[in-house]
């Protein structure tokens, strides 16, 4: 199957899992795995830019990651600070806008500084929006949104009758971003780990056993091909989807709404 450049997902979100296990397989420490994983992130960002995918969100550091050994946590933040600084010129050259989603409280000052610089210097670009989920948790995001909405409601900005999914969505991080069409998780685990819980309601989920440091352009293309094999119904029947797109039964090449990729079943 050839990749159809006319049917690419608008927004891809990735749970980058497997750095530590990859390092252990190489008889190296976990930090080595995270450094290698940064190279995979660079490769996928470049691939998205080349293909014309407009939005990419990477799950970089979750709320739960604070529970890891402090040495690893410190190294992760130091690595991120260096990454933001070293990649800034590349982001500018490729007209990529950097965007942060997550709680700013708790992020080290050095990272906040580099993040602010990168966001400000790339704010006017729109060829690719690269969102980094840092100090992020899906449940925490929803709770925060509810708190902010309630505060506005108490001032009279909204009434109970006006509450809707669209209104609630305005209080989420990255409210101006489209919902992800495709969520990729590397590393063989089959769960979403508190990632974009509200936004991925109708996303296609793709799981692969490939560990993140080994995940490259070919693996990413395979995930995109699997996305194109899927039938996205959004509550409709298959017949309605075909009628909407003017397709006959013979034209239907997709399979299921949410199916595991072949690589995840090895």
Residues recognised as catalytic: 17, 65
Cβ atoms of residues 102 and 133 within 8 Å: yes
Q: Which residues pair with 13 in a beta bridge?
A: 57, 183
Cβ atoms of residues 65 and 241 within 8 Å: no
93 token code pair:
């050259």
- Residue 130, classed as helix, strand or coil, is strand
| Integer CA distances (angstroms), 77 to 1, 21, 68, 73, 143, in order | 40, 19, 13, 6, 25
DSSP letter string, 3-42: --TTS--SEEEEE---HHHHHHHTT--HHHHHHHHHHHHH
DSSP letter string, 77-124: HHHHHHHHHHHHHHHHHTTEEEEEES--TTS-HHHHHHHHHHHHHHTT
135 token code pair:
């100090």
172 token code pair:
């989420």
Cβ neighbours of 36 (radius 10 Å) = 18
């Amino acid at each position: 199957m050839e990749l159809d450049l006319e049917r690419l997902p608008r927004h891809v979100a990735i749970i980058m899992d497997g750095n530590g296990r990859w390092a252990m397989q190489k008889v190296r420490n976990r930090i080595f795995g995270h450094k290698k994983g940064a190279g995979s992130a660079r490769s996928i960002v470049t691939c998205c830019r080349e293909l014309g995918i407009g939005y990419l969100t990477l799950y970089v550091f979750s709320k739960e990651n604070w529970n890891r050994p402090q040495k690893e946590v410190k190294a992760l933040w130091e690595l991120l600070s260096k990454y933001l600084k070293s990649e800034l010129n590349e982001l500018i050259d490729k007209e990529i806008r950097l965007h942060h989603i997550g709680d700013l409280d708790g992020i080290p000052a050095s990272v906040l500084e580099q993040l602010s610089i990168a966001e400000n210097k790339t704010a006017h670009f729109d060829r690719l929006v690269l969102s980094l989920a840092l100090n992020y948790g899906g449940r925490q995001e929803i709770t925060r949104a509810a708190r902010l909405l309630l505060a506005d409601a108490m001032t009279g900005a909204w009434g109970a009758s006006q509450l809707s999914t669209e209104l609630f969505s305005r209080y989420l991080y990255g409210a101006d971003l489209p919902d992800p069409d495709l969520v990729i998780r590397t590393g063989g685990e089959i769960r979403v780990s508190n990632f974009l819980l509200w936004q991925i309601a109708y996303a296609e989920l793709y799981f692969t056993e490939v560990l993140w440091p080994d995940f490259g352009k070919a693996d990413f293309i395979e995930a995109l091909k699997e996305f194109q094999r899927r039938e996205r119904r959004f509550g409709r029947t298959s017949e309605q989807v075909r009628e909407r797109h003017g397709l006959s039964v013979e034209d239907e090449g997709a399979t299921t709404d949410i199916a595991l990729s072949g690589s995840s079943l090895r």
